[in-house]
Structures are given as structure tokens and as C-alpha cells.
């Protein structure tokens, strides 16, 4: 589900990209290492991003946005990812490219009027609650229940691995409203995290994306009105499926930009680093490795750009988005591994961004749908069930 987007002049895109890059250099780069140690970035960063127009850029003007094409949203994630800020890319993409489109596309007018302007400015941070301790890719296995009592739903359950979990103000929450109806028994709700009974667990320690707040969330007798149903009763599963192409596309956008960033760092390093009386870039192994990675990256970049254009036209299919997500995230892992190897022992040191990029890359093949799920979707499209 997309909005038709007017074409942007390439010069406009590059001007916007330059503004994003300057913001990141000033407001993020000097502090990012400390945020990684703190295992969270400050809540005020959301407000700064909103003030500079870097959140939810394709939200229509009537809801406080600028109504920009999706292409500008991808520029933000590209630049964050290219600079090696994987945790920030993850959090911003969840906020701007997952939660906000759910509310924009599925919300009633009251939900849109209340939440969208706040998401645009950073006054509110968004999260999505699907994964549970016993239910990851198998959404039908979720245990969180929403039971209608009078005029309200009472929600009980637990979610885990929630990006923006510590900072979020609103969560798009998937619940079982009819436990006997399978996929048709899942409903989405917008839940204000200030609602009594909604609470945050610990900020989870992770292999990578240390600066991202990834949390457990708990819901105990949380009462929400029927007007907080998002997209229709029992339609949660199909709505999730309809919105997944954008989620998987934005993950592909971040993955390919991360590959480009890692290659830039590595090319710079091998042309300066000397071994056996010459630069590392003079060795055939180095040259062939980089040639191979550059070729793979350029081909994947072309496909991602094609998918971006299709999304803007409302033509991107689930299979195409899954293909982009599968290939770019698998490539990201390969590029991270091969580039770290070219850095030698220094690549294993935290002071070099390739070390962080290596750890950050691993989650890309898991969240937003595992590589195995992507393969199954593609296989079904060509072979059937």
C-alpha cells in the first residue's frame, strides 16, 4: 500500500542527502561511540531529527509532514547506514518506515490526527509489537490477548525484541482477539505506552546494534477503546502482510548502503596500509576481493533502486521486496566479513568501524523476516506450496 509519488529532481535529492550527512556528522558521529557503550542513544535525538525534517518525510502535509516521495525516506536510511550507524538506522526505519505507514494507511481519522504529527516532530516515538518469547516468525503462535469487555478491549501479554522499546510512546500492537480463528483472529491496536498496565522491561543486551533500545514490553490489564483498533477487527494478519513490502525494502536499502560504506572504508585502508614493502591494495588477492564485492554491491544496488521506483508507483510485490531483502542482507554479511579480513588484526579492534559493522550486519538476516522465510516466499511464487 503506497502513495503515488511525484518525481524528484536529482539535484533536490542530493541537496537533501547533503543536509542529512551534515546533520549526522554534527549530531551523531561525535557521540556514537559513547552511545554504543551506554547501549542507548538519547531521547533528545528524536526531537532533533524531527526539528530538521528527517522523520516520516512522506507523511502528508495535513498530518504535519511534507508529503515527500518515499525516495527521500530512503536517503535518510542510506546515509545513516553508510556512515556505520546501524543501530540508529534500525530505530529510525521502524519509526518512519514501519510504524508511521501503518497508522497512515490503516488508522481512523482520530488516530492519524493524534499520532502522525507527533511522529513527524519526534514528540512521539513509534514501535511495533509482534514478536513474543514463544512466537517469532510464526505470528499465529502469539499469546497476547485482547478481550472485549464492555466498550473496551483489555490486553494481556508480553512482547520481546522490540526496537525503540525504551523510548516508544505508541506501539502498534498485534493481539489475538479470537484465539480460534487462526490468522483471522489477529488484530492490531495503537497503544499509548502511558496507559496503565503497559510497562517496559529491561533494555536487552545484544551482539550488535548496541546503541539501539531493544526491549521487553509487558501488558497487564491494559484497557484501550474500540477506536484504537488499527485496520479492522481480525484483519491484523492481512494488514501485516500488506505492509511488509515497505519494511523489507527499507531493510534492503540500509543493507546495500552499509555495503557501500564498508567498501569505502576498506578501499581507503588498503591503499594506505603497507605490508612487505608495498600497499595492501597492490596484492592480487586484495584487488580481486574488492572487485568481487564491488560488482555484487553494484548489481544489488541496481535492483534496490528498481524496487524503490516500483514502490513509489505502487507496484512493488511481496516477492520482489523479499528478494531485495534476502540478497542485500546476505551480501551485507559477506561484505562485512571480507572487508574485516582485509583490515587484518585492526579490523578486530573496536576503534575501527568495520568491527562494529561486522556485528551489526548479523541481525539483518533475522529481523524483518529471516532469510529462510524470504526463500520460502520466493519459492512459493515459483513452485506453489
- Which pLDDT belongs to residue 6? 52
Point out the domain boundary residue: 125, 156, 181. Answer: 125
Point out the domain boundary residue: 125, 145, 165. Answer: 125
Residues tagged active-site = 247
In a domain, 260, yes or no: yes
Q: Distance (Å, rounded) from C-alpha 68 to C-alpha 133?
A: 37
Point out the domain boundary residue: 83, 106, 125. Answer: 125
Residue position matching grid coordinates 513527524: 120
Looking at the fold, whether 155 and 195 belong to one and the same domain comes out as yes
In a domain, 3, yes or no: no
Looking at the fold, whether 254 and 316 belong to one and the same domain comes out as yes
Looking at the fold, whether 178 and 118 belong to one and the same domain comes out as no
Q: What is the dihedral of CA 95, 224, 106, 67, to 10 degrees?
A: -50
Q: Tell me the backbone φ, ψ of residue 283, rounded to 5 degrees.
A: -75, 140
- 10 Å CB burial of residue 48 (0-12, 13-18, 19+) is middle
Give the count of beta carbons closer than 10 Å to the beta carbon of residue 348: 12
- Which pLDDT belongs to residue 7? 66
- Which pLDDT belongs to residue 1? 38
In a domain, 292, yes or no: yes
The distance of Cα 239 from the centroid of its chain, to the nearest Å, equals: 18
Looking at the fold, whether 228 and 247 belong to one and the same domain comes out as no
Looking at the fold, whether 135 and 91 belong to one and the same domain comes out as no
In a domain, 23, yes or no: yes
Looking at the fold, whether 68 and 176 belong to one and the same domain comes out as no
In a domain, 1, yes or no: no
CATH of the domain at 270: 1.20.140.10
In a domain, 145, yes or no: yes
In a domain, 201, yes or no: yes
Per-residue pLDDT of the chain (385 residues; tens, 9 = 90+): 344 445 678 899 999 999 999 999 999 999 999 999 999 999 999 999 999 999 999 999 999 999 999 999 999 999 999 999 999 999 999 999 999 999 999 999 999 999 999 999 999 999 999 999 877 666 777 899 999 999 999 999 999 999 999 999 999 999 999 998 888 999 999 999 999 999 999 999 999 999 999 999 999 999 999 999 999 999 999 998 889 899 999 999 999 999 999 999 999 999 999 989 999 999 999 999 999 999 999 999 999 999 999 999 999 999 999 999 999 999 999 999 999 999 999 999 998 999 999 999 999 999 999 999 999 999 999 998 7
- Which pLDDT belongs to residue 9? 85
Q: Tell me the backbone φ, ψ of residue 170, rounded to 5 degrees.
A: -130, 140
- Which pLDDT belongs to residue 164? 97
Looking at the fold, whether 241 and 373 belong to one and the same domain comes out as yes
Looking at the fold, whether 345 and 310 belong to one and the same domain comes out as yes
- Which pLDDT belongs to residue 135? 72
Looking at the fold, whether 247 and 227 belong to one and the same domain comes out as no
Indicate if the alpha-carbon torsion angle 8, 11, 14, 20 is positive or negative: negative
CATH of the domain at 64: 1.10.540.10
HEC profile of the chain = CCCCCCCCCHHHHHHHHHHHHHHHHHHCCCCHHHHHHHCCCCCHHHHHHHHCCCCCCCCCHHHCCCCCCHHHHHHHHHHHHHCCCHHHHHHHHHHHHHHHHHHHHHCCHHHHHHHHHHHHHCCCCEEEECCECCECCCHHHCCCEEEEECCEEEEEEEEEEEECCCCCCEEEEEEECCCCCHHHHEEEEEEECCCCCEEEEEECCCCCCCCCCEEEEEEEEEEEEHHHEECCCCCHHHHHHHHHHHHHHHHHHHHHHHHHHHHHHHHHHHHHCEECCEEHHHCHHHHHHHHHHHHHHHHHHHHHHHHHHHHHCCCCCHHHHHHHHHHHHHHHHHHHHHHHHHHHHHHHCCCCHHHHHHHHHHHHHCCCCCHHHHHHHHHHHHHCC
In a domain, 4, yes or no: no
Looking at the fold, whether 219 and 257 belong to one and the same domain comes out as no
Domains: count for the chain: 3
| Cβ-based neighbours of 287, under 8 Å, separated by 6 or more | 281
Looking at the fold, whether 378 and 241 belong to one and the same domain comes out as yes
Looking at the fold, whether 120 and 157 belong to one and the same domain comes out as no
The domain containing residue 38 runs over which residues?
10-125
Q: Which of 274, 316, 231, 348 is nearest to 5 (CA)?
A: 316
Amino acid at each position: 500500500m503506497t502513495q503515488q509519488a511525484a518525481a524528484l529532481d536529482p539535484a533536490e535529492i542530493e541537496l537533501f542527502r547533503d543536509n542529512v550527512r551534515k546533520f549526522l556528522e554534527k549530531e551523531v558521529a561525535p557521540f556514537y561511540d559513547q552511545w554504543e557503550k551506554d547501549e542507548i542513544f538519547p531521547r533528545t535525538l528524536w526531537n532533533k531529527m524531527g526539528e530538521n525534517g528527517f522523520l516520516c518525510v512522506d507523511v502528508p502535509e495535513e498530518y504535519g509532514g511534507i508529503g515527500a516521495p518515499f525516495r527521500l525516506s530512503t536517503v535518510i536510511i542510506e546515509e545513516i547506514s553508510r556512515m556505520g550507524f546501524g543501530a540508529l538506522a534500525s530505530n529510525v526505519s521502524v519509526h518512519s518506515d514501519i510504524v508511521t505507514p501503518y497508522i497512515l494507511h490503516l488508522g481512523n481519522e482520530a488516530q492519524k490526527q493524534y499520532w502522525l504529527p507527533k511522529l513527524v516532530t519526534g514528540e512521539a516515538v513509534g514501535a511495533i509489537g509482534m514478536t513474543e518469547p514463544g512466537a517469532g516468525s510464526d505470528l499465529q503462535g502469539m499469546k497476547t490477548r485482547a478481550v472485549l469487555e464492555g466498550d473496551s478491549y483489555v490486553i494481556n501479554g508480553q512482547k520481546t525484541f522490540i526496537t525503540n522499546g525504551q523510548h516508544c510512546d505508541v506501539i502498534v500492537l498485534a493481539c489475538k482477539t479470537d484465539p480460534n480463528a487462526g490468522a483471522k483472529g489477529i488484530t492490531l491496536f495503537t497503544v499509548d505506552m502511558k496507559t496503565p498496565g503497559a510497562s517496559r522491561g529491561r533494555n536487552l543486551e545484544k551482539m550488535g546494534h548496541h546503541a539501539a533500545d531493544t526491549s521487553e514490553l509487558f501488558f497487564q490489564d491494559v484497557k484501550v477503546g474500540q477506536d484504537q483498533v488499527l485496520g479492522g477487527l481480525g484483519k491484523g494478519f492481512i494488514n501485516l502482510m500488506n505492509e511488509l513490502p515497505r519494511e523489507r525494502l527499507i531493510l534492503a536499502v540500509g543493507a546495500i548502503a552499509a555495503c557501500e560504506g564498508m567498501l569505502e572504508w576498506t578501499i581507503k585502508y588498503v591503499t594506505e596500509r603497507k605490508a612487505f614493502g608495498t600497499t595492501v591494495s597492490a596484492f592480487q588477492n586484495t584487488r580481486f576481493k574488492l572487485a568481487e564485492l564491488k560488482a555484487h554491491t553494484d548489481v544489488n544496488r541496481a535492483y534496490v533502486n528498481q524496487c524503490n521506483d516500483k514502490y513509489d508507483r505502487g507496484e512493488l510485490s511481496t516477492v520482489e521486496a523479499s528478494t531485495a531483502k534476502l540478497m542485500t542482507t546476505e551480501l551485507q554479511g559477506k561484505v562485512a566479513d571480507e572487508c574485516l579480513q582485509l583490515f587484518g588484526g585492526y579490523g578486530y579492534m573496536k576503534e575501527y568501524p568495520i568491527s562494529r559493522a561486522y556485528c551489526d550486519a548479523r541481525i539483518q538476516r533475522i529481523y524483518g523476516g529471516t532469510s529462510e522465510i524470504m526463500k520460502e516466499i520466493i519459492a512459493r511464487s515459483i513452485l506453489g506450496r
